[in-house]
Chains A and B, each alone.
Chain A
Amino acid sequence: MKQLILGNEAVARGLYEAGCSFVSSYPGTPSTEITEAVAKYPEVYAEWAPNEKVAMEAAFGASLAGRRSFCGMKHVGLNVAADPLFTISYTGVNAGMVIGVADDAGMHSSQNEQDSRHYAMSAKIPMLEPSDSAEALAFAKLAYELSEQFDTPVLLKMCTRVSHSQSVVETGDRVEVIKEYKKDIPKYVMMPGNAKKRHPVVEARTRALVEYAETAEINRIEQGESNTMGIITSSTSFQYVKEVLGDKYPVMKLGMIWPLPQQKIIDFAASVDKLVIVEELDGFVEAHCRNLGIACVGKSMFSNIDELMPLTVAAELSTPWETGVKLDAAIPPRPPVMCAGCPHRGLFYTLKKNKLTVLGDIGCYTLGAVAPLQAVDSVICMGASVSGLHGFSKAQQGAMDNKTVAVIGDSTFMHSGITGLVNMAYNESNATVIIVDNSITGMTGHQQNPTTGFNLKGDPCAKIDLETLCRAVGIRRVRVIDPYNLAECDTVIKEELNANEPSVIISRRPCALLKYVKHSAPLSVDETKCVGCKSCMKIGCPAISIEGGKAKVDATLCVGCGVCEQLCKFDALKAAKEV
């Protein structure tokens, strides 16, 4: 049956059809929907792990036990899971194991735009790279075949435009795959003596995979009308090349991006006058061609910064392209903002008001860094707020401990904040960590996590108690505040900053977008009282604006959180019914 589905949903379908029966992932844009979609198949056990390293190790365990397994993550998640990645390469698999990684060129929702292909090369693991949903489905299935044939985990590389584009697929039936578990110490116990013997196996495997790459159907050549130029490309770059040039020049379309064929590329290069490599981000294929001694053009034409677009391909390959009318008006940007009623807003207002240095983290609350709040000083990666705060505190010898906090979300804290907190307790830094607990993993679109009490399938499950957890690692001062209550936030934060030992403040209120959250009536402005002082504008709420010198609340956006009401000295903002 023909269906129009997201690239991520197509991967999920491919996992299902390939007989995958174990999936463990950590959510991260643009990878999240793979795991959400696969969880809908009753034949597949699927879960959210606390982080990508745990997810990958769990998937390895499932493979070892004899079931086809999968773990999914975004590009930066693969950094977290890099430790098992490099050694699972040595052990190989029992049943097939596939690792999905989704890059985010253009950084639509990420803190960097690293190129995951380097991981395939350095961990010596084959990587398949689909260019639309049909290939995402087919390559997911092929990945399991290769995994078992070559005894290796296989990386399936997605990117934002393949993950989040819907295109047409034909679905098939599921096969069931069950392998027997066999104890095999030399293969699976990676201590030096055994690992030394496995490394040559890995190198031989790569040579065998190069042979496969030479003739693999997924590395295909599409003939062109003129051999004055030939193009090697993959993924969405392939789509842009075909969009712009059609069948003008021959194109080598790589479905396996590591290891790369050698003779096939040498022959292709010899068949064309000029070889152009069209690839997004780094010159990965280009470097391979140069290693083979082939003259080619790549990154001197197409930047290694930002995502590639069709117009760039057209401009660099001399294809005429007419653009539309640019309006002669200053169009203000529309950056993302915290939602109306977002519980993070009151907290960040309080941090800004107290002029605190804030080491931030990854989540919706990263938006605390944008105007008008601008209350975040640094954001690096998952968990870095807590561990960074410890270093900041020690380096300052405590001099700024009453002016510095870390802010981290509930899911991010479970991911990798807890280890930083252990370090603070163990090595005794006297600083304050604020866990913004909105009872969900927010930014990636509401996934459950170990603190929510529900699993991926939405069933009730064990719930980690944050207060108990923080106390257990040695933090004696643990306080809970409601971020809608500005006075309480202010008092407790001041008290904890001035305490003479490390502390954790849990700023707790569910995300305003959660379906079960009951909202209060929208506020409205009593124009007889409003003097237009703009105090209510300091929190950057999208529901509040100034019109004709008076504040105005957009009743369709306002959820009645009441934070603005607490800022108004003139009692002008009230719940609609009270005005």
Chain B
Amino acid sequence: METKNVMIVGVGGQGSLLASKLLGRLLLGRGYDIKVSEVHGMSQRGGSVVTYVRFGEKVYSPVIDKGQADYIVSFELLEAARWTEYLKPGGKIIVNTQQINPMPVIIGAAEYPEDLAGKMRSAGIDLDAIDALSLAEAAGNAKAVNLVLMGRLSRYFDIPEEEWMAAIEASVPAKFLELNKKAFALGVNA
């Protein structure tokens, strides 16, 4: 099979590392060659962060370059807009509609662009926009945005639900398991 590419983008501290860990476990269980590339260190301090997940028969590059991503899962609206060039023609962006102002916007040096979802759709981008923050809060914790988005992504993967559940069980602490499963289900069904 041709290598599939998933980019997980967001703001440092939003929990994208758990999402990539979950995907890694899920795909390893299916016997794929996998590479998951993360960012640690300074960029994690509230900066723009990106994780690359690649899987297939043989994966070489640990990173995804422009025009290669089959899916971009964005934890925040502006971050989805930042990475559109990385989307493969015919690829899909799954975006949490939550807006988090970057420091240049907070201090008034820049504007948060208006109607980014509309702009992306006008540019011909296949956008699946959901309010993952509200769904995570409904599941019981605002931090479960990552599981809501993974649930949403699962709609586009031909992988049985029990494999996703097994990967979630292996990735989150037992005491948060029900919360995370609930968040995942809300993402699937939203």
Contact = CB atoms under 8 A, between A and B. Distances in A.
Interface of A: 2-4, 6, 29-30, 32-33, 108-109, 132, 161-162, 164-168, 236, 239-240, 242-243, 309-311, 314, 321-339, 364, 366-367, 370-372, 443-445, 537, 540, 542, 544-546, 556
A250 to B, nearest CB: 16
A333 B104 contact: yes
Contact of A166 (B36, B84, B88): B36
Q: How large is the interface on B (under 10, 10 to 19, 20 to 34, 35 or more residues)?
A: 35 or more
B87 A445 contact: no
B146 to A, nearest CB: 15
A343 B74 CA distance: 30
B35 A166 contact: yes
B71 to A, nearest CB: 12
A208 to B, nearest CB: 33
Contacts of A364: 42, 45
Given A4-B36, A325-B125, A327-B120, A336 B81 contact: no
Contact of B24 (A4, A242, A334): A4
B27 to A, nearest CB: 8
B154 interface: no
B89 A322 contact: yes
Contact of B36 (A165, A240, A544): A165
A537 B101 CA distance: 13
Contacts of B67: 321-324
Interface string B13-56: 10000000000110010000111111111111111100000000
B46 A328 contact: no
8 contacts: A3-B28, A33-B40, A167-B35, A243-B60, A324-B67, A324-B69, A540-B103, A546-B108
Interface in B107-144: 107-113, 116, 119-120, 123-125, 142
Nearest to A6: B38
A568 B106 CA distance: 17
Contacts of B24: 4, 166
B61 A243 contact: yes
A182 B35 CA distance: 45
Contact of B105 (A2, A3, A166, A332): A332
B45 A30 contact: no
Interface of A is mostly: loop
B94 to A, nearest CB: 15
Given A168-B28, A327-B119, A545-B106, A337 B46 contact: yes
A370 to B, nearest CB: 7
Contacts of A334: 11, 46-48, 78-79, 82, 102-104
Given A239-B61, A334-B11, A337-B46, A545 B84 contact: no
B62 to A, nearest CB: 4
Nearest to A326: B85
Contacts of A556: 142
A239 B113 contact: no
B40 A29 contact: yes
Given A108-B39, A167-B35, A325-B124, A2 B61 contact: no
Contacts of A329: 81, 113, 116, 119
Contacts of B37: 161, 164-166
B87 A324 contact: yes
B151 interface: no
Contacts of A6: 38
Interface of B: 11-13, 24-25, 28, 33-48, 59-63, 65-69, 78-79, 81-82, 84-89, 91, 101-113, 116, 119-120, 123-125, 142
Given A3-B28, A240-B60, A325-B123, 8 more contacts: A109-B42, A162-B62, A164-B37, A167-B34, A321-B66, A324-B85, A325-B87, A327-B116
The 7 A-B pairs of least Cβ separation, nearest first, read A109-B41, A29-B41, A336-B47, A332-B110, A165-B62, A334-B102, A323-B66
B12 A324 contact: no
A335 B102 contact: yes
Contact of B123 (A161, A323, A328): A328
Nearest to B27: A4
Contacts of A542: 46, 103, 106
B62 A132 contact: yes
A371 B107 contact: yes
B60 A242 contact: yes
B65 to A, nearest CB: 4
Nearest to B31: A2
Nearest to A74: B41
A309 B65 contact: yes
B59 to A, nearest CB: 7
A454 B169 CA distance: 32
B65 A336 contact: no
A162 B63 CA distance: 10
A131 to B, nearest CB: 9
B12 A371 contact: no
A240 B103 contact: no
Contacts of B44: 336
B11 A240 contact: no
B81 A331 contact: yes
Given A4-B34, A332-B78, A545 B85 contact: no
Nearest to B133: A556
B85 A311 contact: no
Nearest to B13: A339
